Every structure is written in C-alpha cells, then in structure tokens.
Structure 1
Amino acid sequence: MDASLVAEKVEQARDAVAESDADVWLIFCRETDEIHEPTLPYVLGFDVVWPTAIVIGSEESTVVLGQHDAPTAEELGVHEVRPYDESIEEPLRETLARLGAETVAVNFDRDDNVADGLTHGMYLRLDDLLPDREFVGAGGIVADVRGIKSGTEHER
C-alpha cells in the first residue's frame, strides 16, 4: 500500500477513534509475514518483525517498533516513529500516557475476522505490559476504516 493511501486510512482511523468510546486504537503485532494482522495494510502498509504497536488517537498517531523496522516507518512519513532496542514497554507506556489513553481499543471481535487480528498470546503480553489500561474491542473502528472508501480508493 502506498504512503498516501495509508495516510488517508490513518486519518479515517483518527475520526473513528474520535467517535468511539476508546481513547486510542492500538494494533499490536509481531512477525506479520507469518501471522497476518488484517488491519496492518491499512495503517502501516508493511510487515514487521519485532513486537510493534501502532497507536492511533483522535489527533495523532505513533508507531512503536523495533529499531530494524523503524527506517521503513520513517520513510512512510505517516506516524511519529518510536524505535526501541530491547523492550517495547517504556516507549509504549510513554506514548499512551502522552495521549491520555486509559481506554484502549484492540483488535478482538467475536464476529468480524478482520477486527480479530490480535492473537491470544499477544493479548496476554499486552495485558502484562499495560495492566492499568482498559481494553475494548476495535470492531467499530475497523469497520469504519475498511468500509469508508478514501479518495484514493475511489479513484482506483
């Protein structure tokens, strides 16, 4: 996916977050060439290796990812990029604190497989990293991002 389309989809995601009960939408994934995260093409546009968090608030977005994946995110130019060397914990916590995120929408959904990309193991890891946050399903946000076509998508 090209950078302009990712930027449009991230803007749609910001609007969807603003209309939701969540403070942010957090896409948490790793090794995405082996375990597909269905929303990643919309908000990042490339696969990652190390644990990665794309945090989208109503006004801004940040991607916290391993240092080896960071150059591709920087080239994309859509998100603030927070690379890490050993642990995602501190930059992720700092990002959520800066955004005032208490309620975090994550990709689990009983009915929509595209909104259900967070594996159980990654959910447990996220819960360990962020025990003080409330997690809610991101189904409505994902539905908006997928269902509302951007200008570039209409042109295609």
Structure 2
Amino acid sequence: MIMLKPLRGALVAFALCATAAAPAFAQSGAAPSGAAPSGAALPDDDRMDHAWNDLLESEGGLLSGPQYTALNNLAFQAAVVRVCDGYSLDTEGFGKGIAGVLTSTDKDFDERQEKEYGAAVLVAFGARFGLFLAEGNGDKKDFCDAAAKLKATPGEVPLFLK
C-alpha cells in the first residue's frame, strides 16, 4: 500500500493553495483521451493539443486509462477554482480522489518504489493542472462555461466543485 499520510497532507495543502489564491480555472475541450472532463463532448478549439501529446508520450504506462481519467477530472476541477469566479473545492473529497488514484495500482511495490510512484502520480497531476490552467486562461469564457455545465450536470463524474 502506498504511504498515504505524507501524501495526503501534501495533497490537502495543495488543494487549499489551489483554492485560496484567487480566480480559478478554465478549459472547454475534451480530455487527452478524447473524453471531456465533464463527461460531455465539448469543442476543443482551445486545446493545447501538442502540449497534451508531449505529456502523454512522456508518461508511458504509469497509470491505467481510468486512473488517467480520474487524474484529468481532478486537475480540471482544481484549475476551475483558479480560473473561474465563484468556485471552491471540496478539499476532503478532492484529497480522497487523489488518494484513490495513488492507491488503485495493482503493482506490488517496495517502500522506495511506492514513494517514486506517488511522486510520479503527483507530477502527472501537476502537469495536467498546468495545462488546464493555460487552456482556461486562454479562453476563460468557454472554460468556465464547461465548469458550470459540469457542476450543473456531473452525471457519473465525481464532482469536487462547490
């Protein structure tokens, strides 16, 4: 099992920092896998496709498809809090969401490998968060509209926005 105590504290601290600094986050395009962060197909005119492709090529098989989807969703919602007005993050739920990605591996790690894996997952999250921030600030209206749509009708997408 991944060592969650230090990671969970870091994640909660990150979530609090992500929500405290100011206006939030934006993005209106589909997630890198082709599925929109909100679970609905959205135009992707604002996407930084080349940057996403570079990221995906560098990650290899770190996570499974569902884990990447969960990480994209978490990063999108964290970015919304930074780019869009009127949103905050359910930090407890968000921390549990990140912890879920960290602990859902079927790999058998020793202690050193667990720490490396946890760090790699957090780097993958940070890269996604940064790309969503860039996309959101590139077209704030579309991004915030996507956030409003997600909050209004999340479907089966875990919602961390308040």
**TM-score > 0.5, shorter chain as reference:** no
Larger Rg: 2
TM-score range, shorter chain: under 0.3
- Give the structure-2-normalised TM-score: 0.26
- Give the structure-1-normalised TM-score: 0.27
Which structure: greater strand fraction?
1
Determine which structure has greater relative contact order: mean sequence separation of CA pairs < 8 Å that are 6+ residues apart, divided by chain length: 2
